[in-house]
Amino acid sequence: MSATDTTPASWVDVAYLITAICFIFGLRYLSSPKTARLGNRISAVGMLIAVLATLAQGIVNWWVIGSALVVGAAIGIVSAQRVKMTAMPQMVALFNGAGGGAAALVAAGELLKVFHANAIPTYDVSFTSVLSAVIGAISFAGSIIAFLKLQEVMTGRPITYPGQQFVNALIALVIVVCWGLVVANVPNSLEFFWIALVASFALGILFVLPIGGADMPVVISLLNSFTGVAAASTGFVLGNNVLIVAGALVGASGTLLTVLMGKAMNRSVTNVLFGAFGAVKPVAAGGAAKQQNVRSVSADDVAAMLAYANQVIVVPGYGMAVAQAQHSIRELADQLEKKGVEVKYAIHPVAGRMPGHMNVLLAEANVPYTSLYDMDDINPEFERTDVALVVGANDVTNPAAREDKNSPIYGMPILNVDKANNVVVLKRSMNSGFAGIDNPLFDDPKTVMLFGDAKKSIDGVVAGVKAL
């Protein structure tokens, strides 16, 4: 396995190289929806090659490995097929956590092997195995909390307590100190390794707790990147190049997405990493009372507005996912197009709970991806638009982000929904959005509100359009 000696490369390493190439091509083909499926399959073939090559190395505990492989595959495939598209973010979080946990345990296993042989680990091995264990454990625990929040087992609102950042910093310090002690190979360094592992697990939980549901796209990307780095680091521990390459690819992808999501929320990555998450305090109670000037209308009123428009832009948000309204929206768009109305979709980068969440849901409902527009492309269009139909989106349409310097989301790029001639907002109730911030859009004289479950509301509008 060594890269420095002159012995011929083993065929296993050649297989790993082929795998790495497959992964790169797999991601390369994701640059277009037309070739993306092929890419995913190339990547899967690469994975198969790596696993077969590893298994063929003469493994002893074949029953342990075989049964674990089969059980893991069965759970993975069945749950991946059954999961609803709206539940995709929590599914991705769960798989991410599984990968992070595995990376942490592999590194721990390697380090333990060295200690059990009563040998002293080299600095390279001890440094990188603690790194894998720490990042893997943070990713594992953080992903589980993200899963619980997205699945609404626990509240999606930020959970904060006094001294939160201090506690997190303290735990981080403990981890760094233990890390140093393991690398320095002090007596009982194995115990410090366990402390670092447990502390990382705790940090993973605590750092996701104060993060609200609307910030989930950033967190999921970040955790994805963590697991990638943990996998790469495990590659260093094992001296395994395919883990290093694959981990680096995933780490790069997760980091890029994190930066992108951060930009879409007007937050720097350091700001995302070190804590302003808890800074947005929910003001729900007061917020609901302040907005009194809203105009509520019926589904038939909305139907008439839409049917006589030239152009309608649909702005979907997390509310669409919750209500599973994507199919009804597609039907509405079909009916409107029959009447000669142009229908477009405006997708904010952080709408929903993960990057690209809305795109997947609309794709599920057979909305052609050519009708979906990014924020920068669609924003100039609102001025020429008769009706903007906001379905369960809130903060990403909030004009306060543009105008009110005191607003917590001031500076966040938004969809300029308020520039449209008319705005229809579909909402469950007058509760404020996830960030708990008032939305002046709802008070705007050209805005009307249609209250109720988004799917039922849209179905009502569809019936209204058909009746016209």
Hey, which residues are catalytic here? 395
Q: Cβ of residue 273: shortest distance to other proteins, in angstroms?
A: 18
Q: Cβ of residue 442: shortest distance to other proteins, in angstroms?
A: 27
Of 278, 34, 35, 29, give the one whose Cα is nearest residue 158: 278
**Which region among 16-24, 180-188, 443-451, 456-464 touches other proteins (by CB under 8 A)?**
16-24
Encoded tokens for 25: 């091509």
Encoded tokens for 174: 């403990």
Q: Does 218 bind other proteins (CB under 8 A)?
A: no
Do 90 and 97 form a contact (C-beta atoms < 8 A)? Answer: no
CA distance 195 to 143: 20
Q: Cβ of residue 40: shortest distance to other proteins, in angstroms?
A: 5
CA distance 85 to 89: 9
The single-letter DSSP state of residue 296 is B
> Closest CB to other proteins among 31 and 293?
31
**Which region among 17-25, 284-292, 383-391, 452-460 touches other proteins (by CB under 8 A)?**
17-25
Do 314 and 345 form a contact (C-beta atoms < 8 A)? Answer: yes
Q: Does 462 bind other proteins (CB under 8 A)?
A: no
Q: What is the x/- site pattern for other proteins, positions 104-133, by CB under 8 A?
A: -xx--xx-xx--------xxx---------
User: Which of residues 150, 196, 211, 246 is near other proteins by CB under 8 A?
Assistant: 246
DSSP letters, 45-57, are HHHHHHHHHHHTT
Q: Cβ of residue 51: shortest distance to other proteins, in angstroms?
A: 6
**Which region among 99-107, 154-162, 174-182, 453-461 touches other proteins (by CB under 8 A)?**
99-107
Q: Cβ of residue 373: shortest distance to other proteins, in angstroms?
A: 10
> Closest CB to other proteins among 135 and 423?
135
Distances (CA, A) of 104 to 135, 206, 254: 7, 18, 18
User: Which of residues 90, 221, 385, 398 is near other proteins by CB under 8 A?
Assistant: 221
Angle formed by the axes of helices 88-116 and 216-238, nearest 10°: 30
Of 434, 136, 466, give the one whose Cα is nearest residue 277: 434
User: Which of residues 9, 10, 14, 65 is near other proteins by CB under 8 A?
Assistant: 65
Do 466 and 332 form a contact (C-beta atoms < 8 A)? Answer: no
Residue written as tokens 């990493």?
273
User: Which of residues 228, 262, 436, 460 is near other proteins by CB under 8 A?
Assistant: 228
Q: What is the x/- site pattern for other proteins, positions 255-294, by CB under 8 A?
A: -xx-------------------------------------
Residue 344 β-bridge partners = 313
**Which region among 37-45, 203-211, 316-324, 381-389 touches other proteins (by CB under 8 A)?**
37-45
Strand positions, DSSP E, 330-445: 342-347, 372-374, 387-391, 422-427
Q: Does 60 bind other proteins (CB under 8 A)?
A: yes
Q: Does 32 bind other proteins (CB under 8 A)?
A: yes
Residues 342-361 that bind other proteins (CB under 8 A): 347, 349, 354-357, 359-360
Task: Report the 10 Å Cβ neighbour count for 215.
Answer: 25
User: Which of residues 86, 168, 189, 234 is near other proteins by CB under 8 A?
Assistant: 234
Residues 369-428 that bind other proteins (CB under 8 A): 369-372, 374
Q: Does 254 bind other proteins (CB under 8 A)?
A: yes
Strand, coil or helix: what is 283? coil
> Closest CB to other proteins among 2 and 406?
2
CA distance 47 to 76: 15
The single-letter DSSP state of residue 280 is S
**Which region among 35-43, 267-275, 311-319, 459-467 touches other proteins (by CB under 8 A)?**
35-43
Do 110 and 238 form a contact (C-beta atoms < 8 A)? Answer: yes
Q: Does 18 bind other proteins (CB under 8 A)?
A: no
Q: Cβ of residue 369: shortest distance to other proteins, in angstroms?
A: 5
Q: Cβ of residue 130: shortest distance to other proteins, in angstroms?
A: 15
> Closest CB to other proteins among 132 and 407?
132
Do 140 and 103 form a contact (C-beta atoms < 8 A)? Answer: no
Q: Does 51 bind other proteins (CB under 8 A)?
A: yes
Name residues whose C-beta falls within 8 Å of residue 111's C-beta, 6 or more positions apart in sequence.
Answer: 121, 125, 126, 129, 130, 133, 190, 193, 237
Q: Cβ of residue 359: shortest distance to other proteins, in angstroms?
A: 4
> Closest CB to other proteins among 220 and 400?
220
Q: Does 151 bind other proteins (CB under 8 A)?
A: no
The single-letter DSSP state of residue 423 is E
CA distance 225 to 447: 40
> Closest CB to other proteins among 34 and 405?
34
**Which region among 57-65, 205-213, 291-299, 411-419 touches other proteins (by CB under 8 A)?**
57-65
Name residues whose C-beta falls within 8 Å of residue 299's C-beta, 6 or more positions apart in sequence.
Answer: 450, 457, 460, 461, 463, 464
